[in-house]
């Protein structure tokens, strides 16, 4: 019995390769050529086979380690007889000798570094292999290590890299060709060399017609040597038909290969397929037109003209902003709307009694200032309504000021100016300010500051009609009061029905910030304060 340390073989120049899979554990009995670990460079994944049969004593690497040629992989206890017959034959990088060809330049040394013919390295088989992808075109500039072509054997797909940076002068292969080790792939004009400009070449030739131009056959570093393996690296558990570099890119981008359609020959996945998939996913996510999964399906476009005459009217800026805000608030805020009627019989008697004085003051006294005053008192009474959800998702912001927005319908669209410190203002002041704000809104004179800082909103459709509606919370506020048209209704006083002037109220609230009991308290307080405005003095 001897202990054999199996190390990382020659990786064709690649160093610091990733261990992406450890296939054995201490105590495992392994056969010759059984995979020990899977390594991955940016060009290939390679299974490192056991050189002997035996029992694993210890594993020296972990998944995620970065290792190089010569690093210890496992300690293997082998039978004495086994020692003489290591079986795995890891293909070595093939560096071809320079071959002479082509017409000369006058300075052989400079010309020798000008063009390089890249050939197929030893791919571990004498058979012809398929060219399944050409990654460059004539005229392309490549960097050292960029893939030139992809070959496929029955064991692996192999990307043949450029041995040096430069320009692709010619390609000798096409997709679908069958080629063998040693075949020419491309001619590169290598960066940093000093080839004679095309136009000057004939001159050089004339000056030195007999001088041969050496052309270096590039050492086609087998960055993607297929290791002996029973599995193809092109197709694996996920069923995707992709090479190692494509798999690595997909992993880096978090792409599930089984979801990507291959655009290469025979449906093979290419890097471009991965990039296109990611671009499409990002576009979809940022366009708001998510059409599947958990996203919101887009409303399909309709050709309305098919059904009758139509006119396209451009939306105003305010209409567009309102549309956006409404969708945002409707989708973000879990709404609940609670309804009640406030008895405004006394309020209306009082308000009408104040009409002459209002006229003298030059103010229009509608129910709105009373509602503002009552809502301010309710916000103080039930502070759960005077909050906002903090954007960090961890806090609730409690406010110690009472600013209330009023929804104003204007020709340009809906606007919500904010009346500040409503709790500190009297009815006349509120009447004056709401009249002024509504006028400013209709005249298109509101400043951004006039519409900021609200704690709560009132949307009154009382002048128009209706018995109730469900207003949308004006986030980041957490509640809004909808007011419908007051009407005389029979109200049971315990003995008989009395004709009372009833004002329908609709309170929508953000159920993340406010629970039903808070809303019940708020509404009950509001209804009683409006029903008896003397309570607002308490
Ligand atoms: N029930 C019955 N009558 C009502 C009422 C109600 N709830 N609210 C107001 N009225 C009466 C007023 O008393 C006034 O009548 P008088 O002149 O006889 O007193 C009349 O209706 C018109 O009032 P107004 O509309 O001029 O004034 P207001 O203070 O009630 O409202 C404002 C001001 C700015 C809120 C309103 O003009 C407005 O723009 N409302 C639309 C709001 C809106 O579009 N909301 C929807 C938002 S969500 O889409």
Q: Render 248-259 in DSSP notation, one character per residue.
A: HHHHHHT--GGG
Which pLDDT tens digit goes with each residue over 272-284? 889 899 988 887 7
Beta strand 54-59 with 72-78: parallel, antiparallel or unpaired?
antiparallel
d(CA 346, CA 536): 14
Is the pLDDT at 21 greater than 90? The verdict is: no
Burial 480-489 (b: 16+ CB within 10 A, else e): bbbbbebeee
Distance from Cα 465 to the centre of ligand 1, integer Å? 9
The CA-based dihedral angle spanning residues 215, 217, 218, 224, taken in that order and rounded to the nearest 10 degrees: 160
**Per the structure block, which two tokens stand in for 395?**
């806090």
Q: What percent of the chain has pLDDT over 70?
A: 80
User: What is the C-alpha R_g of the chain?
Assistant: 40
Tell me what the mean pLDDT of segment 338-353 comes to: 97
How far, in Å, are 35, 359, 406, 437, 476 from residue 419 at the CA level?
Answer: 76, 22, 8, 8, 16
Q: Is the pLDDT of residue 446 over 50?
A: yes
Tell me which of 6 and 223 has the higher pLDDT.
6
Handedness of CA 439, 444, 448, 453 (dihedral sign): positive
What was the pLDDT predicted at 220?
43
Per the annotation, the verdict on 511 as an active-site residue is yes
pLDDT score recorded for residue 44: 64
Lowest mean pLDDT among 224-238, 267-281, 385-399, 522-536: 224-238
Residue identifier of the C-alpha nearest atom 36 of ligand 1: 408
Residue 435 near ligand 1, beta carbon < 6 Å: no
Mutate to test the pocket of ligand 1, among 462, 466, 469, 481 (most ligand atoms within 8 A of CB): 462
Q: What is the mean pLDDT of residues 8-25?
A: 79
Q: Which of 463, 477, 501 to mutate to test the pocket of ligand 1 (most atoms within 8 A of CB)?
A: 463
Q: Is the CB of 315 under 6 A from ligand 1?
A: no
> Average pLDDT of 120-131?
82
Q: Please, are residues 189 and 167 in contact by the beta-carbon 8 Å criterion? A: yes
Rounded percentage of the chain residues whose pLDDT exceeds 90:
49
Check residues 198 and 62 and name the one with the higher pLDDT. 62
What pLDDT, on the 0 to 100 scale, is given for residue 176?
A: 85
Q: 260 to each of 154, 265, 280, how far by Cα in Å?
A: 23, 14, 11
The residue that leads in pLDDT, 270 or 6, is: 6
Catalytic residue selected from 52, 335, 390, 511: 511
Question: Is 255 touching ligand 1 by the criterion CB < 6 Å?
Answer: no
- For residue 231, what pLDDT is reported? 34
CA of 461 to the centre of ligand 1 (A): 6
Indicate if the pLDDT at residue 440 is higher than 50.
Answer: yes
Q: Which residue has the tokens 């399944």?
A: 132
Task: Say yes or no: CB of residue 483 within 6 Å of ligand 1.
Answer: yes
pLDDT at 288 over 60: no
- Tell me if 479 CB under 6 Å of ligand 1: no
163 with 116: CB under 8 angstroms?
A: yes
For the Cβ of 25 lying below 6 angstroms from any atom of ligand 1, the answer is: no
Region of poorest pLDDT, from 74-78, 107-111, 356-360, 376-380? 107-111
Output the CA torsion 367→371→374→377 (10° steps): -140
DSSP-derived 3-state class of residue 267: helix
Q: What is the pLDDT of residue 125?
A: 75
CA of 346 to the centre of ligand 1 (A): 19
How many Å apart are CA 349 and CA 357, to the nearest integer?
Answer: 14
Residue 358 above 70 pLDDT? yes
Q: Which domains does the chain have, with CATH numbers?
A: 1-100 (2.40.50.100), 112-190 (2.40.50.100), 241-312 (4.10.320.10), 319-537 (3.30.559.10)
Residue 429, Cβ density class (10 Å: 0-12 exposed, 13-18 middle, ≥19 buried): middle
Instruction: Please name the residues in contact with 403: beta carbons below 8 A apart, sequence gap of 6 or more.
Output: 418, 419, 420, 421, 422, 453, 454, 455
Q: How many Å apart are CA 193 and CA 111, to the nearest integer?
A: 8
Residue 325 binned pLDDT confidence (cut-offs 50, 70, 90): very high
* 99 pLDDT higher than 70: no
Q: Report the range of poorest mean pLDDT among 224-238, 330-344, 351-365, 497-511.
A: 224-238
Task: Residue 344: count other Cβ atoms within 10 Å of its Cβ.
Answer: 21
Q: First and final CA of the chain: distance in angstroms?
A: 99
Structure tokens at 72: 């210890």
Average the pLDDT over 473-502 and give the result. 97
Q: Taking residues 265-269, report their average pLDDT.
A: 75
Looking up tokens 């992989």 gives 73
Reply yes or no on whether the pLDDT at 371 is more than 60. Answer: yes
Mean pLDDT of the chain: 82
pLDDT at 461: 97
Ligand 1 centroid to Cα of residue 485, in Å, is: 9
What pLDDT was estimated at residue 236? Answer: 54
Phi/psi of residue 464, nearest 5 degrees? -95, -40
How far away, in angstroms, is 399 Cα from ligand 1 center? 28
Question: How would you classify residue 512: left for phi > 0, otherwise alpha for psi between -120 and 50, otherwise beta?
Answer: alpha
Q: CA geometry: angle at 356 spanning 353 and 362, to 5°?
A: 130
What are the pLDDT digits (tens) for 40-86?
Answer: 766 666 778 888 899 999 999 998 888 888 889 999 998 765 554 44
Given a cut of 60, whether residue 422 has pLDDT beyond it is yes
Q: With a cut of 60, say whether residue 175 has pLDDT above it.
A: yes
SS3 content of the chain, % helix, strand, coil (to 5): 30, 25, 45
Q: Is 57 in the pocket of ligand 1 (CB under 6 A)?
A: no
Sequence-ordered alpha helix ranges (H) in 220-366: 244-253, 271-287, 317-332, 345-353, 355-361
Residue with tokens 């960097």: 143
How many CB atoms are located within 10 Å of the residue 77 CB? 16
The pLDDT, as a whole number, for residue 496 is 97
Q: Comparing 122 with 231, which gets the higher pLDDT?
A: 122
């Amino acid at each position: 019995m001897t202990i054999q340390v199996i190390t990382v073989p020659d990786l064709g120049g690649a160093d610091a390769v990733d261990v992406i899979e450890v296939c054995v554990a201490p105590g495992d009995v392994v056969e010759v050529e059984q995979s020990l670990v899977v390594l991955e460079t940016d060009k290939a994944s390679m299974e490192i086979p056991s050189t002997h049969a035996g029992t694993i004593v210890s594993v020296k690497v972990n998944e995620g380690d970065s290792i190089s040629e010569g690093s210890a992989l496992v300690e293997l206890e082998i039978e004495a007889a086994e020692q003489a017959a290591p079986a795995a034959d890891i293909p070595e990088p093939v560096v071809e000798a320079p071959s002479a060809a082509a017409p000369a330049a006058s300075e052989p040394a400079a010309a020798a570094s000008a063009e390089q013919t890249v050939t197929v390295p030893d791919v571990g088989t004498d058979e012809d292999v398929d060219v399944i992808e050409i990654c460059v075109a004539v005229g392309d500039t490549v960097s050292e290590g960029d893939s030139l072509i992809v070959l496929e054997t029955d064991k692996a797909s192999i990307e043949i890299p450029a041995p040096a940076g430069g320009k692709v002068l010619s390609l000798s292969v096409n997709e679908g060709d069958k080629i063998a080790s040693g075949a020419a792939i491309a001619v590169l004009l290598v960066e940093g060399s000093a080839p004679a400009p095309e136009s000057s070449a004939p001159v050089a030739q004339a000056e030195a017609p007999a001088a041969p131009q050496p052309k270096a056959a590039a050492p086609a570093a087998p960055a993607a040597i297929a290791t002996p393996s029973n599995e193809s690296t092109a197709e694996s558990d996920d069923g995707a038909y992709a090479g190692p570099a494509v798999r690595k890119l997909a992993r880096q981008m978090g792409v599930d290969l089984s979801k990507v359609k291959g655009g290469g020959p025979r449906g093979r996945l290419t890097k471009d397929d991965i990039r296109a998939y990611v671009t499409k996913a990002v576009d979809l996510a940022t366009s708001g037109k998510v059409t599947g999964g958990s996203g919101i399906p887009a409303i399909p476009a309709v050709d309305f003209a098919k059904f009758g005459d139509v006119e396209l009217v451009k939306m105003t800026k305010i209409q567009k902003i309102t549309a956006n805000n409404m969708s945002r608030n409707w989708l973000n805020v879990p709404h609940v709307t609670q309804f009640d009627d406030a008895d405004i019989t006394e309020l209306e008697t009082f308000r009408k009694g104040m009409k002459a004085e209002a006229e003298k003051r030059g103010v229009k006294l509608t129910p709105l200032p009373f509602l503002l005053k009552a809502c301010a008192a309710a916000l103080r009474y039930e502070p759960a309504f005077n909050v906002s959800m903090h954007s960090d998702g961890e806090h609730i912001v409690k406010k110690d000021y009472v600013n209330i927005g009023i929804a104003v319908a204007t020709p340009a669209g809906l606007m919500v100016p904010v009346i500040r410190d409503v709790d500190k203002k009297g009815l006349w002041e509120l009447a004056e300010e709401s009249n002024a704000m509504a006028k400013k809104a209709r005249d298109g004179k509101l400043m951004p500051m006039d519409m900021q800082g609200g704690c709560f909103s009132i949307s009154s459709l009382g002048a128009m009609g209706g018995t109730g509606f469900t207003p949308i919370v004006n986030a980041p506020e957490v509640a809004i009061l909808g007011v419908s048209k007051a009407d005389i209704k029979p109200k049971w006083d315990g003995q008989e029905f009395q004709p009372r002037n009833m004002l329908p109220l609709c309170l929508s609230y953000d159920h993340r910030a406010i629970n039903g009991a808070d809303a019940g308290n708020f509404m009950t307080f509001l209804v009683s304060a409006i029903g008896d405005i003397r309570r607002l003095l308490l």
